[in-house]
Each structure stands twice: as C-alpha cells, then as structure tokens.
Amino acid sequence: MFAYVVTGSYPEYADKDLGMLVYHAGSKKDVAGQIARDGWKVKRVRSATMSDIQDFTRYEEVLKFVRSEADRKRAIDAENRRRAEIDAKLREEQWRREEDGRRKAAEEAHDRAISVAVGDLFSVQLEPGLKGNAKIAAICSKALLFFDQASVNKKDLFTAISIDFADFESQSSYPLASKLLSILVNELNEFLRVDEGMAALKQRFSAEAASVEDKINSIASRTHVFGGSGDGLLFSWLAANSAANQDGKAIESLEKGHLRQIEQVQRAADEAGLRQQLTEFRAKVAISMLLAACGKSRFIEINMPLVVEEYVLRMG
C-alpha cells in the first residue's frame, strides 16, 4: 500500500483545487483513474512524504465532505428553482389578473362610451310598420353617401336629405321614425357646422399669420445708426444697440405668440376631428337602426375608435 498526495477539484462542490492523502496499492496512474471515476478532475498525483501524512486529510473524509456539500448544493439549487417557479407562476397569475382587470375596465369604458354616445338613439323604439319604406331607405342611402363618398358635395346632399325628411315627416304617421330621422339630420348638420367653424378658424389664422409675418419683416428691416465723437459716439452706439435689442425682443415675442396660435389651432382641429368622428358614429347607428326597421340588410361598418371613446367619456 502506497501513500499519495492528490490535487484536484470536485466540480459539483466548487471550482477550486483540494489536496488529499490517498492510500492505494497501484501506481500514480491507477490512483488518478480511481479518483477521476469518483467524479474528480485530477490535476496532480505525487508520492506522499512523512509531513504530508500529517498535513493532508485522508481522501475518504474529503470525498465524504465534498459529496455531502454537493448534495446540499443540489438541494439548495432545487429549492431555489422550485421557489423561482412558484414566483414565476405567481407573477404570471398576477399579470393575468391585472390583464383581466385592464380588459374588463376597457370593456366597461367602451360600453359606457357607447351608452353616452348613442343612449338617446337606443331609447327610440321604431314603429313595426316601416318594413319596405322606400323614403326612409332613400334618406339612409344619401346619408351614407354623405360620410362615405369623398367627392360628394356635402352641403347639397344635406339639403336634399333635409327636403326628403320634411316630406316624410309631413306625409307619414310614424312619429318615432321621424324622431330618429330628426336626430340623423341634426348630426349631419353638426358635421357641416364643425366643417364651417374650422374653415373660418383656418382663414382667420392665415390672415393673422400673414399679419405677424408683415410685422416681423417690418421690424427686421429697420436700420439703427450711430455717430458722433468722443462720449457722444459711445452714447449714440448704446442707443442704437438698445433699439436693435428691443427689435429682437419684439420679433421673438411675435414669433412666440404665433407658435401659441399654431398650437391653439391644432388643438381646435383635433377637437373638431373627434367631434366629427362622434357625429359619424351616431349617424351610422341611426342609419343602421332605420334600415333594419325597413327590412334592409345592408352591412354598415360602425366602430368607435379609442380616441373617440376617451373624448366621449371626457366630455360626458
């Protein structure tokens, strides 16, 4: 039996070298092979000296220790994985609950926006005798053209729709249908009113923009001269420089004011666009109800964009 000192590492324990005292009947190569089969990465094998026998721990004890530590590490890793899986499941469940909450809130907001936007339309229960009514079908067809045909003259079409509605109202005994048609005509009128308001605003803005540009050009074209001698030259230069600085501030003030006007016009345009989208939505809901009452199965795309939902809820 020979004594050897083996230096190596046990990967499952730690990536560091340990020294061990090994008693073995074979050669260094045999020792290295046996130690490797036990799971070690052998770095060096040498014959032991008398002092090594006292300095190094026996291999069996070291092996027992590292295997115990490896088992403990595996148990810790397994527990950490288990906890990580639990945490991941909890986070997923929490996310799912939050997502369900967001979806439910969005659905409730959508339903609330629809109710606010067209609740007065849904309250109208149309007469049962409207099936096959050509006058209502014609008004609805023209109203759809009002929104869906870009090249149509909206003012002329609105006039035609208004005349048709007046004719229907005077010659029929359908007060509920007349009420819904009246709402439809009012929505078309509101659409045109917004158009006219925006056109007037843009015209006024263009005129003000031209006026501001003229003022800026007038100020920028001024010339400030100075002259004289001695102290007079200095005072003259200071006066001219001060006037030029005042002109610069005046131009800056005009430019800032013009930027504020641009922002105001943009906000007004955005608001007008939302109002018109809401008007179109309401009108198409009314058209859909009227066509259904007439027995017309025409598909009408009706949707309320999220920005319009937010606008309705904000205004309502």
Top-confidence residue, 217 or 174: 174
What is the band of 15 on the pLDDT scale with cuts at 50, 70, 90?
confident
Q: pLDDT over 70 for what percent of the chain?
A: 87
pLDDT at 277 over 60: yes
Across all residues in the chain, what is the average pLDDT? 86
Other Cβ atoms within 10 Å of 131 Cβ, number: 11
pLDDT-wise least confident of 65-69, 184-188, 303-307? 303-307
Summarize pLDDT for 222-245 with one digit per residue, the tens: 544 444 444 444 445 445 555 666
Structure tokens at 267: 């906000």
pLDDT for the residue 234: 46
The contacts of residue 69 (CB under 8 Å, 6+ apart) are 13, 14
Q: CA 232 to CA 239: how far, in whole Å?
A: 11
- CA-nearest of 69, 71, 70 to 12 is 70
Instruction: Burial-class residue 185 by CB neighbours within 10 Å (0-12, 13-18, 19+).
Output: buried
pLDDT at 258 over 90: no
Rounded to the nearest angstrom, the gap between the alpha carbon of residue 151 and the centroid of all alpha carbons in its chain is 34
pLDDT for the residue 40: 93
